[in-house]
Structure formats: structure tokens, C-alpha cells
Amino acid sequence: MMREYLYLSQGGDAYIVQDDSNDSLTALQTLVGGLIECVCPTKLGHEVDAWVNEEGLMIEGFGINLVASFITGRQLVGPCVLAGHNKFGDTISVPKHVITKLKREGLMIDERTWAPFEIANRCFPTTLYSEVCE
């Protein structure tokens, strides 16, 4: 099943990421650079999940993600991935109306689609934790 996520780098860039694997856990871990933690974004409603690195506060180089913090209403560090979920709790695509709303509010979203490993290579080019997306 193809899923689309909204990836928010800590530098303020936003990308659409397409995940066509059957393993959303691995894709999300790849995107945030490690173990994941779900943060409920208070400003986006109950149908959106924000995924971050659960050890983000301890990782050198991870700083406050101003865009993700503003969008979610919570102070977040490092990269953040917005996704949806179904009634069974499965991770699904971020709802299209959320992307449309964020664009209307001024978020510049790279319209190209990326695979999880492409974003990981772009944002963590040397080692997983030594360099973050700029």
C-alpha cells in the first residue's frame, strides 16, 4: 500500500515522502534517524500523528524544529513526519486536506516526491546522527 507522509526537516524544509513498503515502522525510523515516538499534534486534529526521534533531545545536532513545533503546537526537536492513522491504528497517508491547509497557511512544500531512503541520505549524509538536514 502506498502511503504519503509530510517530512519536516529541522531546517524548515517540507517534503512529500512516498512509502510503498509494507513496513511503515522502518520507513518512519529511517526518516527520523532512529527509534520513533508519536506526538499528538494538538493543532492538526485527532486524525494526524507527528512522528519524531524518541531520543531526539539527547542527539547532538538535533535542535528545535520551529516549523514542526508551530504546526503541531508542541516543542519538537529534529526531523518530524506527519502521517495519518485509520480506526485500527495503522499508519496511513497524511490526509490531503492537512497538506492543503498547511500550504494555504504558507508552508512551502517541495512538490517532488521522495522515498524514505532518499530523504535519509539527503538529511543524514555522513552518518545517521552526525549531520542533520539543513
Q: Say if CB 119 and CB 31 are below 8 A apart.
A: yes
| Cell numbers found for residue 93 | 497517508
Domain locations in the chain as residue ranges: 3-123
Determine the 3-state secondary structure of 52 from DSSP. Answer: strand
CA end-to-end span of the chain, whole Å?
A: 30
- Residuewise pLDDT in 10s, the chain (134 residues): 799 999 999 888 899 999 998 899 999 999 999 999 999 877 888 889 999 999 988 888 889 999 999 988 889 999 999 999 999 999 999 999 999 999 999 999 987 888 887 877 766 543 444 444 44
Q: How far apart are CA 56 and CA 64, in angstroms?
A: 10
Q: How far apart are CA 74 and CA 86, in angstroms?
A: 23
